[in-house]
Amino acid sequence: MARARFGGETREEASLGASHKSRRKNPRKRVVFKIGPLERHLLQSLVAVDGSWASLSEGEAIEWFLLLIICPVLYFFWGQIEMGNYGNIDDDDDEPTRSCGWYVRTFVGVLLLAGAVTGAAYGLYKVAHPANKHGDSGGAPYTPSTPSPWTPGDDPSEDGPGPDFGPPGFAPTPIVSNNYSFGNALELSLTFLNIQKSGKLPADNPITWRGDSALDDGSDAGVDLSGGLYDAGDHIKFGLPMAFTATILSWSVLEYAPQMTAANQLNAAVDIIKWITDYLIKSHPDNETFYMQVGDPGADHDCWQRPEDLSISRPSYKLDPESPGSDVMGEAAAAMAAASLVFRQPGTTFENPAYANLLLSHAAGLFEFADQYPGSYTESYPTMQMYYNSTGFEDELLWAATWLHYATGDQYYLDYATGQQGETFGGWGKAPLWFSWDDKRSGVHVLLSRKHLLQPTGDKLQASKLLNYKTTADKLMCALIPNSPTASAKRTKGGMIWVTQWSASVHTVNAAFLALIYSDYLDAAKLTLTCSGNIYKPDQLRYFAYSQVDYLLGKNPMEMSYLVGYGDNYPKFLHHRGASIPSDGVQYDCKGGFQWLHSTAENPHVASGALVGGPFFNDSYSDYRDNIQQNEASIYNSASLAGLVAGLSFTAQQGIPKTYLS
């Protein structure tokens, strides 16, 4: 994911002129206030986000504060001190006396300066302490027209109109076109993961414009690291988000295999899981080595080529006791543990106990390695902080332990997740914590709530620890329901959960995914959700999840589907090298392909199932290739959407699927 630079029309190319001038109202002196490079950059930030205050990020808002408050106050206060209005002269001592107005202006200037410095200190504190892994205070509740709280005994029809969930594989109502359904969205999401495959492709590869690529990956280290998935619109194989993709897709299969079967997509999902886990196995050649990445992001982003034509070197990045990466290894352990459950299902076409055992062996080894040599991969490789910066590794260890417990039944892993590690790093009581490739705590909360709700333990102490996870999961769900008293304000006017300007849809789809799964857990346990005294049925969490999919697939102010290939109005200029370069028989070199990045023509290939970053906070969206924040897709987004639309494609009356995760 190209996060370090902007292609084409850059922020640096946006300009508001060389300087601004300001005059003091003083007949004797004139002050010229010039905008230098720093201030010009701040002004350009506004232009870069479509001139909308609503779409400013936290960092840009702080920059504007520094420019529009501190600079004028400093100018005013300095002017009062240096060029004060000496209105009177005392003839006796020939000393100037300051007028009453001078004192008033200076006093006001001091007050304003004090306020500005306080605000600047707070802003700097916010920069130094990012909110990635801290709870959201919620803010003012967002209250669109949604079902009202439910009281036991009420007629369910009093909840108000909600989606009429149809048969498996089909949308309740046509969202964009009568020709499209949730079954289509599921198939498209899995198609994008096929598009992203690296290595030697199978003979029945369904993507006609893709071929074999990066067959020599790992040769610099003497290992075979071919295979896996390219991350986004580039050709890097980032281990952390790729493993997360496998974990989410495995969880989706474990919960919603019947729905995927009804849409004829179960085998396709399992094939992609195995494509990733085969690569993870090769990345773990011995007990103290894990290759967490292939490809130099800086070099890769300086090229624009089809993956089949890659001509630059692709270094391999290794984790070992001297260069730890517990976050990547923890996620890889979680992915292989979850996948082992998939391949252990009796009676399925993909049942493979030997492969499941192999995955479980690697998962247990990686967990032990990651726990014994703790550390973040972005501390071992600081340059990677520009791309997928990990804000901690303890959550991945809890996530891995939870999946290992489900896969093995071993009490050790449950004790790990509910013991001191859980108390210290589990985020109990903090919500909402936004689930993503970086922060797994909300996923742990939901997954261990399943244990508490559906597989209660007789150990009172451990039951109380599991209850802490369930109580925290409740807080997240209360933040997601729009008319809850503690509803999060982090959503657009159109109703989309919106947490960050970069690839905003990642939090939208993940929040909806967790809400859907949690609603099913509550339904299976025959429980409701209580938010500050208000009671909500599980279906109301499903309505929330449905509303987020509804938004992403076209029911939004832009009337655009953010899933490429879904409906008629979807992004045509996806930031994606392979999709943007035609299959014209020409092998474009590293720099020669940039003509297609800057082409005004639509992509010659449709990267079906790519879920783009989506809108800014003001619900606006611009479809152009250089718009990396909004118009690039990532594999984990499509994986989460696949599970989400699969789970929404059945009615509550058909029962909650509990066939795979027991």
Chain centroid offset of residue 52 CA: 23
Give me the amino acid identity at 530: T
Please report which helix (H) or strand (E) contains residue 530, including its range. Answer: strand 529-531
- Residue count of the chain, please give it: 662
**CA end-to-end distance (rounded Å), the chain:** 36
* H runs (alpha helix) in 387-537: 394-408, 411-418, 420-425, 441-454, 460-480, 505-524
Residues 6+ apart with CB under 8 A from 68: none
Task: Return d(Cα 89, Cα 98) in angstroms, integer.
Answer: 9
Question: d(Cα 518, Cα 432) in Å, to the nearest integer?
Answer: 14
With beta carbons less than 8 A apart as the criterion, state whether 406 and 661 touch. Answer: yes
Other beta carbons within 10 angstroms of residue 374's beta carbon come to 14
- 464 Cβ neighbours under 8 A, 6+ residues apart: none
The CA-based diameter of the chain, rounded to the nearest angstrom, is 108
Residue type, 340: S
Query: Residue 154 and residue 476: Cα distance in Å, rounded?
Result: 25
- Residue of 284, 405, 575, 576 with catalytic role: 575
User: Any residues with CB less than 8 A from the CB of 316 and at least 6 apart, and which?
Assistant: 217, 218, 220, 221, 223, 225, 291, 293, 294
Return the SS3 of 429: coil
Write down the residue that tokens 């090769």 correspond to. 282
- Measured CA to CA, the distance from residue 179 to residue 629 in angstroms comes to 30
What is the 8-class DSSP label of residue 554?
T
Question: DSSP readout, 84-148?
Answer: ----EE-TTT--EE--HHHHHHHHHHHHHHHHHHHHHHHHHHHHHS-STTS-----SPP--S-PP
Is 301 part of the annotated catalytic residue set? no
Q: Which residues pair with 531 in a beta bridge?
A: 534
290-294 and 316-319: which strand pairing? antiparallel
CA separation for the pair 526, 286 (Å, rounded)? 46
Using CA atoms, how far apart are residues 9 and 465, in angstroms rounded to an integer?
52
Cα 145 versus chain centre, distance? 27
- Can you name the residues that pair with 563 across neighbouring β-strands? 611
Reading the block at residue 309, the tokens are 């034509």
Strand partners, 149: none
Torsion angle, alpha carbons of 445, 447, 451, 454, to 10: 110
Residue in 574, 604, 572, 602 with CA at minimum distance from that of residue 588? 604
Closest-CA residue to 38 (of 61, 64, 56, 8): 64
Q: Is the peptide bond before 96 cis (omega within 30 degrees of 0)?
A: no
Q: Please, which residues bridge with residue 319 across strands?
A: 290
How far apart (Å, rounded) are the C-alpha atoms in residues 527 and 95?
82
Residues annotated as part of the active site: 575
